[in-house]
């Protein structure tokens, strides 16, 4: 085959790959029939742990968090920095509701760019559209921040965002890990753990490409920052009763009267705002998932 023909074939294949891996934004009319409720959105915000990652590293807890971003998250692929997602011009002030939802539910940023899965849209893709609208309505009530976003510190080839499209084709799934939720309580617990709470993002080990190994779901994982491990919270590693789990999520105290430390302090600060029935549903879910030794 002549060189020109080979070149044309290579160009055609490259174009096909780029088309296959390009972002697919959500439709602009997605929320036309929905109205956001800020009060419900506050609970979605609390369950989703948004403040834990997007508040500035030095920020103090407050009723109206300033989501100025800037916190760094180390990984084997580099360091990712949480962006400013406050409602000001430096954050999401000029984003439409659908553009914000596209990031949360689809991992697609403004301007149709793939977002890195350091942002847990792999869990949030299970979030209901109504919860997404409510969350966005609440986000717009928070204080704005003028803080500029930091660029991720990642090298080649992970800095090629088109590669995230290939990663999504391999690993972005719509199904639940626990596919046999047999009661409304377990369904609610599954939604809170697998979707809003994105618990698997920390408590489940990953493969060499950073995707969750769901065969060891919630079975504990190395700390990506390189300091210690994140515990196994299945019944194979956590012998607490449902009542003890519920109490821990509400108060931060273990059955032996120790207290939560590290990142769990921020997690519990959010979860403790949820109704008791939600915390009981989370506990029931954790007892229902297959135990990991």
What does the pLDDT look like over 237-286, one tens digit per residue? Answer: 899 999 999 999 999 888 887 877 778 888 998 999 999 999 999 999 99
pLDDT at 248: 92
Helix then strand then coil, % of the chain, to nearest 5: 40, 10, 50
25-171 homologous superfamily: Cytochrome c-like domain (1.10.760.10)
pLDDT at 23: 64
Q: Tens digit of pLDDT for each residue in 125-169? A: 999 999 999 999 999 999 999 999 999 998 887 888 888 888 888
Domain ranges in the chain with CATH number 1.10.760.10:
25-171
Task: Say which CATH class 184-288 falls into.
Answer: mainly alpha
Q: Is cis: bond before 132, omega within 30 of 0?
A: no
What secondary structure does DSSP assign to 4-18, as a single string? HHHHHHHHHHHHHHH
Q: Which residues pair with 81 in a beta bridge?
A: 72
pLDDT at 18: 46
Say if residue 209's pLDDT is above 80.
yes
Q: Tens digit of pLDDT for each residue in 213-222? A: 999 999 999 8
Q: Cα angle at 204 between 199 and 210, to 5 degrees?
A: 110
Mean pLDDT along residues 14-29:
59
pLDDT at 200: 93
Q: Tens digit of pLDDT for each residue in 81-120? A: 999 999 989 999 999 999 999 999 999 988 888 899 899 9
Rank 202-206, 227-231, 265-269 by mean pLDDT and report only the highest: 202-206
Q: Tens digit of pLDDT for each residue in 53-86? A: 898 766 666 667 889 988 898 888 889 999 999 9
Beta-carbon count within 10 A of 237 CB: 15
Q: What is the arrangement of strands in the sheet containing 153-154, beginning at the earlier edge strand?
A: 72-75, 78-81, 153-154
């Amino acid at each position: 085959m002549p060189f020109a023909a080979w070149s044309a074939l290579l160009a055609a294949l490259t174009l096909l790959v780029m088309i296959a891996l390009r972002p697919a934004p959500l439709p602009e009319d997605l929320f036309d029939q929905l109205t956001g409720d800020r009060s419900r959105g506050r609970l979605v915000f609390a369950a989703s742990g948004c403040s834990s990652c997007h508040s500035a590293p030095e920020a103090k807890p407050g009723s109206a968090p300033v989501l100025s971003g800037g916190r760094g998250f180390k990984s084997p692929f580099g360091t990712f920095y949480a962006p400013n997602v406050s409602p000001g011009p430096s954050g999401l002030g000029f984003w439409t509701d659908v553009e914000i939802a596209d990031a949360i539910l689809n991992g697609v940023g403004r301007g149709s760019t793939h977002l890195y899965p350091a942002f847990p849209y792999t869990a949030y893709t299970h979030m209901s559209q109504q919860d997404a609208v409510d969350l966005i309505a609440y986000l717009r009530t928070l204080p704005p921040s003028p803080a500029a976003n930091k660029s991720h510190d990642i090298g080649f080839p992970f800095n090629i965002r088109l590669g995230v499209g290939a990663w999504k084709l391999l690993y972005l799934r719509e199904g639940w890990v626990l596919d046999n939720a047999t009661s409304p309580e377990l369904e609610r617990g599954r939604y809170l753990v697998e979707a809003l709470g994105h618990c698997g993002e920390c408590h489940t080990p990953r493969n060499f490409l950073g995707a969750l190994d769901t065969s060891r779901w919630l079975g504990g994982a190395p700390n990506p920052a390189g300091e210690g491990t994140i515990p196994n919270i299945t019944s194979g590693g956590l012998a607490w009763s449902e009542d003890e789990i519920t109490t821990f999520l509400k108060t931060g105290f273990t059955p032996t009267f120790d207290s939560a430390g590290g990142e769990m302090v921020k997690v519990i600060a959010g979860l403790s705002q949820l109704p008791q029935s939600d915390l009981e549903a989370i506990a029931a879910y954790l007892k229902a998932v297959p135990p990991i030794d």
